[in-house]
Amino acid sequence: MDAIVLESVTCGYGRSEVLRDVSLAVSAGEFVGLVGPNGCGKTTLLRAATGIIPCTRGRVLVNGTDVRALSSRELARRIAVVSQEVQMDLAFSVEEVAMMGRTPHLTLAGRRNAHDAEVVARALDLVDVKHLADRPVRELSLGERQRVFIAMALAQEAGLFLLDEPTTHLDIGHQVSALDIFRKLNREREMTVVAVLHDLNLASMYCDRVVLLSEGRIRAAGTPHEVLTYQNIEAVYKTVVVVREEPVTGRPHVFLVPKDRWTPRAPA
């Protein structure tokens, strides 16, 4: 069963096309990383997947249903997004913000029941911010705030997570702990995760499959070993890199090379 399918999607903002004829199928339970240079259309792909921007051609299917046929509430019960755009400097308490994740499950009056409280408590527990429940979000550290918004997404009880650079602004410790949460959800609860990641090495370490985007098209897709080759990376990022196996996970690791050390590559 495919969690989300993009069928030759073309879309963009106004007249400019950002994605051109992109097709991608993500199976339920997969952990997929979207990588590519700035402006290659990674975030646009997520926006197209949630119907925030409409496709000019092609279509997006979520659990086999066209997103255009789903109401925004129904869609929010199937897809949870951890967005970069979220206002982090909120005066609301941690618990209130996590409770906002219940929005697609509430009626017009917005009344919450015991089940909602239970789901939120579990979400806060899972990302380890339960002890901060009554604190205003704006008083927390960046890493803690990021976990609060992950708890909010968890409270949506959706089967599919779309993450838009969930590790930006985080130090390496928090980067690993944020992605560990999603790996755990992915492994233990078979949640599907599609993450836009800036860091190729994080993508390599955490993803089953990596999709490399360039200029609005899919340049390569496959296991980290297949996609994260120096040929692919150099062609897309226009810089020289060295790829070696990372000793702990055995996944490819990308090393950057400063321009004054660029030398012609020895023939293989």
Partner 1 sequence: MSKNSVTYLLLGGLLACVCVLAVFVGAVDVPLRDFMDSSIIRLRMARILLAVAAGAGLSVAGVLFQGILRNPLAEPYVLGVSSGAGLGATVAILLGAAAYGSWTLPAMAFVGALLAVVIVYALGSVGRAMPVHTLLLAGIVVGTILNSILMFLVSYPWKDQPTDRLHNVVWWMMGNLEILDSSLLLAVCIIVACATSVAVLLGWVLNVLALGEEPAAHLGIRVERTKKLFFVLGSLVTGAIVAACGLIGFVGLIVPHTMRMIVGPDHRRLLPASALAGAVFLVVADAFARSLLATEIPIGVVTAVVGGPFFLVLLRRRRRPL
Q: How far apart are CA 230 and CA 156, in angstroms?
A: 39
* Torsion, Cα of 200, 215, 227, 22 (10° steps): 120
Q: How far is the CB of 203 from partner 1 (least distance, A)?
A: 22
Contact between 193 and 140 under an 8 Å Cβ cutoff? The reply is no
User: Using the rule CB under 8 A, is 15 a contact of partner 1?
Assistant: no
> How many residues in the shown chain lie near partner 1 by CB under 8 A?
32
Q: How far apart are CA 260 and CA 16, in angstroms?
A: 36
Q: How far is the CB of 102 from partner 1 (least distance, A)?
A: 9
Q: How far is the CB of 210 from partner 1 (least distance, A)?
A: 24
User: Using the rule CB under 8 A, is 100 a contact of partner 1?
Assistant: yes
- Least Cα distance to 81 among 95, 100, 63, 106 occurs for 100
Q: How far apart are CA 244 and CA 230, in angstroms?
A: 10
- Least Cα distance to 46 among 16, 27, 67 occurs for 67
Phi-psi map region of 223: left, alpha, beta (phi>0 left; psi -120 to 50 alpha)? beta
Q: How far is the CB of 89 from partner 1 (least distance, A)?
A: 5
Stretch that binds partner 1, among 18-26, 73-81, 201-209, 216-224 (CB under 8 A): 73-81
Q: Which of 7, 59, 61, 77 binds partner 1 (CB under 8 A)?
A: 77
User: Using the rule CB under 8 A, is 96 a contact of partner 1?
Assistant: yes
- Report DSSP state, residue 138: G
User: Using the rule CB under 8 A, is 76 a contact of partner 1?
Assistant: yes
Residues 179-238 that bind partner 1 (CB under 8 A): none
User: Using the rule CB under 8 A, is 106 a contact of partner 1?
Assistant: yes
Q: Give the x-and-dash track for 123-152 against partner 1 (CB under 8 A).
A: ---------------x--------------
Read off the tokens for 53: 């921007």
Our CB check for partner 1 shows the closer of 15 and 238 to be: 15
Count the Cβ atoms, other than its own, within 10 Å of residue 219. Answer: 17
- Least Cα distance to 102 among 93, 115, 89 occurs for 115
- Least Cα distance to 185 among 46, 28, 67, 54 occurs for 28
Q: Which of 80, 140, 151, 202 binds partner 1 (CB under 8 A)?
A: 80
Our CB check for partner 1 shows the closer of 1 and 108 to be: 108
Q: Give the x-and-dash track for 32-71 against partner 1 (CB under 8 A).
A: ------------------x-x------------------x
User: Using the rule CB under 8 A, is 103 a contact of partner 1?
Assistant: yes
Q: How far apart are CA 152 and CA 97, in angstroms?
A: 6
Q: Which spans of this chain sit near partner 1 (rule: CB under 8 A)?
A: 50, 52, 71-77, 79-81, 83, 85-87, 89-92, 96-97, 100-101, 103-104, 106, 108-110, 138, 156
